[in-house]
Structure 1
Amino acid sequence: MTTFSSIPGELLLYITESLSVADLAHLSLTSRRFNALVGPIIWAEIELHVTGYHERLSELNHPPPDRPPSQRRYCNPRSLNLSDTVEKTLLLLVVLRDLYAGNRNRFQELVARVRHLCIVMDSISKPHPNPATRDWHLIPYFANLQTLELYGGSLERCTEIDDIDAAPLRHLRFAKLSGYIPRTFASWIMKSCTTLERLELRMLDRPLSNSVSTDPEVDLLSDESPLSDEFPLSDEFPLPNVRPLPEERVSFDSDDGSDYGSLDGRLVIPRSLGGFIPEEGVVFPRLRHLNLTVPCQRDIIYCRERYSWSTRAQDSSLEAWRQILIASNQTLETMVLELRPALENSVSSEVEGWSEPHWLLAGESGVEDKPLLDMIEELYQTAFPSLSHVYLYGFVIGNRDYGDGDDMLTRADLMSAVGRGCCYERPTTLTPAGRFMKGLETRGVACEARLGNMCWFYKADGVTEWVGGWAEEFYFRDEAQTLRDTLLSSV
């Protein structure tokens, strides 16, 4: 009679390939041999989100992701039960926090097994009473990480953490930081620059809202407050710091009078994160793939509200990106640039029949694209010998109102083509992105311009669901989820 212990290890490993992490965890309890075999598999990869998270959020398929969804193990691939997934996430965080506080050696032993970590860092649970044990401070102990994907959800928008003194992650080859990421944490990740081969930065600074009173005596949770419904006060959900900080001086009506630009409009567009490059600078001797994503303003004539755009925040993020580009110019092969036009959330229902692709194609001149493209164009004169492919998302490629003879398409033509998934638009010298594409063409660099994503934000607090949330219904806002990769133009 064949016993379990006599089954070849190769056969057992073959069996585990078709099992979920939950099933593996149950089987690991059946014998010591099986536990020793599957234990490293269970801990090697941690994905703490609902099934389909990567497919249904603002993930781009061109170029292909570092690790496609089909190659990932999920917490529970047979279920989309939201509460079940959140409970599993909270349980793991509680276990890690308790181990960190009470059994540091065991904690380090467990997290040292993890090779791939993907998690939404959202304050959906009561923070640990010790500030040094915030979830962000647990990450440096994952010393053997090869890939790290952190999504700072909307509830992390005002998170501030102490400096991280830990050593860099010496095996990290891929890092993605998306959403509301503490500047201190981003700066620490940059210290792993010497091993990174792929870097995706989609980070946001804390939101601002001029809809919120700056008077500290005003109760933000009163019946008159715009936040009273969004943020019920409880121990689990403490009052967020949504007021402008004193140093941000948003009431000043001139750009020189404010640390973050002239933010005197009622709607403050979400700001990209800057100022995260360490004082010692960065060097990227291995970086081949770079993704830079940022919200942007757009000259859409159908908008009635006055929007505020932080030029100082834009300059700060561009300076950080410039340093990264300079440090990686000799090895960089693929560059992805994504602009997400920002609109207040209720605007989507003000124009009848319009959906997200309509708004993405509503830009006129593309003048807002110019600062980023000018910075890259300046560097490109003497750098990037290995660059072979550039992807543009959310850029205005052609002048869609005036055209250029038979080469240009009308907005109606574009929307019809996008709906068929076969849109094509010739780049024109009338827009910054069109000129940029033509310049790449003359240098022999392939460039694709695709539809992209919007950045919808809330008037009350300036928060955007940049990386989505736990709620499954958010994933299906409209057809833009399937059309964001639609090809607009290529050279």
Structure 2
Amino acid sequence: LESLPRELLDDITSYLQPHQLAQLSFTCKYLSQHVEPLLWESVELHKPGYHALSVEPNSAPPIRPASYYRWIYGWTSFLRASHRAEAFFTMLQRLHRDDPEQLQRLASRVKSLCAVIKPDWQPRTADSNEAVRNGIIQFWQLLPFFINLEKLELHGDLASKPEHEQPTPEITAPPLSLQVAKLFGYIPCTVSAWLLKSGNTLEWLELGLLDRPFDLVDSDEEDLLRSRDIGEGEGSQNEREAYEIDHNDEYFYSTIPRPLVNFLPSSPNLEFRSELTLPRLKHLHLCQPCKGSYDTHVVSWSITNQAKCLSDWRDILLACGNTVEVLVLEQRPSIDLWGVEEHHLDEAEVLEDDQNGKRHRALIKMVQRLLVPEDALKGVKRVYLYGMVVGQDELGNPTDRYPSGRFMRLLESRGIKCEARQGHWFVYDE
């Protein structure tokens, strides 16, 4: 075995699944030395075919080449992948309690981590299957132990029951040196803020963070007004912006999960809203749900959170304005499962149902204001628009009917390439 060329061994092991690598590591010391680091260097805990193993940041954004979809066998369902993820992280939770030095050794080997996370995962007893709470930390508190992590992709899920959710304490450990960060779903503000403290090393950032739908009973009255304008400066302490946010309706069937706000690392200096710095960022993808257009199915949407989210996004754009080259702006029209089943709607129908472009008007307006000064976003070379109706004339060019079409014309005049793509809807369970 030792006579095998290292390149050949690398190619063979690249096709093996984790449990096969584990079996191979027990065959002999030579293979163990080669295989064991591979088991920990890249931890992928999701259903097969989700994405290529640690290669998509090297592909032309935002398309992931199909040629990299190599793991098409093995984990046969999302549920099985979820069980593996739970087993992996609860093992680390036990190690933190029983053998913290071993936890540090193992976690320090991981350079790439991708997983869907449930915040209420906890080790359980073998006899009664009851949660072990004594000395067990939250999953989020494990992240600082991955000191050599370079690529992180987390999709946060809600807890199984609201009463299982726990407040997440602020993480005070030194920031990681992440190069790639993809944060989607329900990730606490304190965790997101700490992860974004890696901004000095980040080259690729994707954000699609969510907050729980606000409770209609306990919600602030200002979130539920039938119609109101976002006041001057609301959502931003430093810049006076008048965002044109879509109004809410008076009666609701369900509430759309809100975009997460106030997740940027805060500045100790009160003169500045955030201490976020992104001096190396080249690729930025910003994604949020938005209120869909419905004739018979009315939903509630937090206009306040939308304004504050745009304010956070503005701070991010200003932090990377000199370096970002690829900008992806994505909005996902929202619909609950009841609406899909009751009205027999499909994804394309929901995406195209935007008569005047008001769904994306506020987002386009915010970004457009940053592009007008010659010194703002001066490094941008390509822009992708997802989930926004553009419209086209007889020659196939964007029209002025929609804000996104006018925005594309502005980019063209600035020499910036822009593509509009269909995108996806956001289906949630009410």
Among 307, 328, 332, the alignment partner of 1:315 is 307
Letter matched to residue 138 of structure 1? L
Q: Which whole-Å CA distance do the structure 2 matches of 1:296 and 1:282 have between them?
A: 25
Q: Secondary structure at the match of 2:115?
A: strand
Give how far 1:69 is off.
Answer: 7.3
Among 387, 396, 409, the alignment partner of 2:389 is 396
| Structure 1 residues 129 and 191, CA gap change in structure 2 (3 angstroms) | same
Give how far 1:356 is off.
Answer: 1.2
Alignment correspondent of 2:240: none
Q: Which whole-Å CA distance do the structure 1 matches of 2:149 and 2:310 have between them?
A: 28
Among 157, 162, 167, the alignment partner of 1:153 is 157
Alignment correspondent of 1:26: 23
The answer to whether structure 1 residue 100 and structure 2 residue 96 are counterparts is yes
Among 281, 290, 293, the alignment partner of 1:287 is 281
Q: Answer whether contact 2:360 2:404 (CA < 8 A) is retained.
A: yes
Alignment correspondent of 1:141: 145
Give how far 1:65 is off.
Answer: 5.1
Alignment correspondent of 1:275: 262
| Structure 1 residues 197 and 61, CA gap change in structure 2 (3 angstroms) | closer
Q: Which whole-Å CA distance do the structure 2 matches of 1:12 and 1:99 have between them?
A: 32
Q: Which whole-Å CA distance do the structure 2 matches of 1:268 and 1:69 have between them?
A: 36
Map of 1:281-360 to 2, 5 A cutoff? 281-300=275-294, 303-351=295-343, 354-360=345-351
Map of 1:428-467 to 2, 5 A cutoff? 428-459=399-430
Q: Answer whether contact 2:169 2:190 (CA < 8 A) is retained.
A: yes
1:112-162 alpha-carbon deviations (Å, 9 max, x no partner)? 110100010124744662687111111121111111000012437964311
- The TM-score, its normalising length taken from structure 1, stands at 0.72
| Structure 1 residues 368 and 67, CA gap change in structure 2 (3 angstroms) | closer
Q: Answer whether contact 2:223 2:304 (CA < 8 A) is retained.
A: no
Q: Which whole-Å CA distance do the structure 2 matches of 1:368 and 1:131 have between them?
A: 47
Q: Secondary structure at the match of 1:155?
A: coil
- The TM-score, its normalising length taken from structure 2, stands at 0.82
| Structure 1 residues 454 and 8, CA gap change in structure 2 (3 angstroms) | closer
Q: Which whole-Å CA distance do the structure 1 matches of 2:224 and 2:384 have between them?
A: 38
Q: Answer whether contact 1:263 1:308 (CA < 8 A) is retained.
A: yes
Give how far 1:70 is off.
Answer: 5.7
Of 191-200 and 362-371, the range deviating more from structure 2: 362-371
Alignment correspondent of 2:37: 40
Of 328-337 and 81-90, the range deviating more from structure 2: 81-90
Q: Secondary structure at the match of 1:284?
A: coil
Q: Answer whether contact 1:157 1:207 (CA < 8 A) is retained.
A: no
Give how far 1:277 is off.
Answer: 1.2
Q: Which whole-Å CA distance do the structure 2 matches of 1:173 and 1:69 have between them?
A: 23
Give how far 1:102 is off.
Answer: 1.1
1:180-236 alpha-carbon deviations (Å, 9 max, x no partner)? 1111111111100000001000000122353xxx4xxxxxxxxxxxxxxxxxxxxxx
Alignment correspondent of 1:387: 380
1:326-348 alpha-carbon deviations (Å, 9 max, x no partner)? 01000110000011111232222
Q: Which whole-Å CA distance do the structure 2 matches of 1:340 and 1:311 have between them?
A: 15
Q: Secondary structure at the match of 2:359?
A: helix
Alignment correspondent of 1:223: none
Among 340, 357, 360, the alignment partner of 1:366 is 357
| Structure 1 residues 81 and 443, CA gap change in structure 2 (3 angstroms) | closer
Letter matched to residue 317 of structure 1? C
Q: Which whole-Å CA distance do the structure 2 matches of 1:67 and 1:397 have between them?
A: 24
Among 205, 211, 214, the alignment partner of 1:205 is 211
Q: Which whole-Å CA distance do the structure 2 matches of 1:11 and 1:62 have between them?
A: 24
Q: Which whole-Å CA distance do the structure 2 matches of 1:111 and 1:66 have between them?
A: 30
Q: Which whole-Å CA distance do the structure 2 matches of 1:393 and 1:91 have between them?
A: 36
Q: Which whole-Å CA distance do the structure 2 matches of 1:428 and 1:37 have between them?
A: 57
Q: Which whole-Å CA distance do the structure 1 matches of 2:351 and 2:297 have between them?
A: 18
Map of 1:43-58 to 2, 5 A cutoff? 43-54=40-51
| Structure 1 residues 444 and 31, CA gap change in structure 2 (3 angstroms) | same
Q: Which whole-Å CA distance do the structure 1 matches of 2:135 and 2:332 have between them?
A: 34
Give how far 1:72 is off.
Answer: 7.7
Alignment correspondent of 1:470: none
Runs of 5+ unmatched residues, structure 2 = 123-130, 236-246, 268-274
Alignment correspondent of 2:197: 191
Q: Answer whether contact 2:108 2:145 (CA < 8 A) is retained.
A: yes
| Structure 1 residues 9 and 343, CA gap change in structure 2 (3 angstroms) | closer
Alignment correspondent of 1:410: none
Q: How large is the Cα RMSD of the aligned pairs? A: 3.2
Q: Which whole-Å CA distance do the structure 2 matches of 1:118 and 1:67 have between them?
A: 16
The answer to whether structure 1 residue 16 and structure 2 residue 21 are counterparts is no
The answer to whether structure 1 residue 165 and structure 2 residue 169 are counterparts is no
Q: Answer whether contact 1:340 1:455 (CA < 8 A) is retained.
A: yes
1:433-471 alpha-carbon deviations (Å, 9 max, x no partner)? 111011111111111011111112233xxxxxxxxxxxx
Among 104, 114, 117, the alignment partner of 1:118 is 114
Q: Which whole-Å CA distance do the structure 2 matches of 1:60 and 1:360 have between them?
A: 27
| Aligned residue pairs, count | 392
Letter matched to residue 95 of structure 1? M
Alignment correspondent of 1:462: none
Percent of pairs identical after alignment? 36
Q: Answer whether contact 1:250 1:264 (CA < 8 A) is retained.
A: no
Q: Secondary structure at the match of 2:401?
A: coil
Q: Answer whether contact 1:298 1:366 (CA < 8 A) is retained.
A: no
Q: Answer whether contact 1:47 1:73 (CA < 8 A) is retained.
A: no
